[in-house]
Structure 1
């Protein structure tokens, strides 16, 4: 590790030293440290809608799309499975094929883990500069349970990628004392963020037949994730319904510009 990273742990309490030796006779030393999590009072929210191709971030005003590397990892995993199917069970006894398959799976996993860590640091530092809380979907019970029996490769990688990304964001948030909020994902893609009506989809384009709101599926998800957290944390910001907070729909009055929200997260929890 870099010297500046090691200095973060100087003076902190530690529990034990764990030493292990891998198959290549390399010695690994792990030292767990005690880390006190003291999140600040958020003034804003940043919601994240996570997909294989893109992550959509919404802060109440603007929507930003960020490309992921998960599809690259999916391609490598698909290539590894194609090699396995081509050689049936013979690849288990062939050292060359076995090493190739293991290398492809390892590269795929490393891409997911490395990109998740880099993105987590980026979004956490951005949230800290803006005094914002990060809002994520709690998909542990709803999405993972409904698709854990699926044998589709994309579903498997989606579950793995989301877990790694969620873990990376929470870990970095604890390190930098950034509040993290988990909201119930039910209805985030099916309800209109403007009027609350059921949306009609044409491929990935969402259309509300009541208020004529139109947006793609990822933007709808990011807005609804934001609104679920916002309605819970700031109930006294006027009675402007469930409209997304834009310049046109922003409530008048309420909190002052530099006044933090009264309700804030002491530790990450479910809403």
Structure 2
């Protein structure tokens, strides 16, 4: 596991319960939509946290606002959410098509 080998933490966005309602917009019952949403995201988050704890990897929950524009390496805000040229190096991000999880690549100058 990459996080164990590199001794890095796993960072998850602490998403509010109502964020991706359009994902379940075809479900008519409002309470059922909320339950489906909460179950899916809460269980995925819980599973990641349990596995991380099992392997001794810390998990950090962050505020989701501006996570697409703030460099995960340097903490500076970029004008674009895909590629940022920072004084310390070049960082590019890519969102997985299925997982929706960001992957960061760091290139030093």
TM-score (norm 2): 0.50
Distance 1:242 1:145 in 2: 34
Does residue 163 in structure 1 map to residue 42 in structure 2? yes
Deviation at 1:146, TM superposition (A): 6.1
Is 1:231 the counterpart of 2:88? The answer is no
CA distance in 1, matches of 2:46, 2:2: 18
Q: Once superposed, what is the RMSD of the aligned Cα atoms?
A: 3.6
Tell me how far apart the structure 1 counterparts of residues 6 and 91 of structure 2 sit (CA, whole Å): 22
Unmatched tracts of structure 1, length 5 or more: 1-124, 194-223, 233-237, 253-271
Relative to total residues, which structure has the larger helix share, 1 or 2?
A: 1
Q: Equivalent residue for 1:26?
A: none
Distance in 1 between residues matched to 2:36 and 2:48, nearest whole Å: 18
Q: How far apart, CA to CA, are the structure 2 residues paired with 1:135 and 1:176?
A: 15
Contact (CA 8 Å) 1:147, 1:155: kept in 2 or not?
no
SS at match of 2:74: helix
Alignment of 1:173 with 2:30, yes or no, is: no
Gaps of 5+ in 2: 22-28, 76-85, 93-103
- The CA deviation at 1:126 is 4.0
Instruction: Indicate yes or no: 2:10 matched with 1:131.
Output: no
* Residue aligned with 1:144, SS: coil
Count residues in correspondence.
81
Residue-by-residue CA offset, 1:19-46 (whole Å, 9 max, x unaligned): xxxxxxxxxxxxxxxxxxxxxxxxxxxx
Is the 2:17–2:37 contact (alpha carbons within 8 Å) kept by the matching residues of 1?
A: no
Normalized against structure 1, the TM-score is what? 0.24
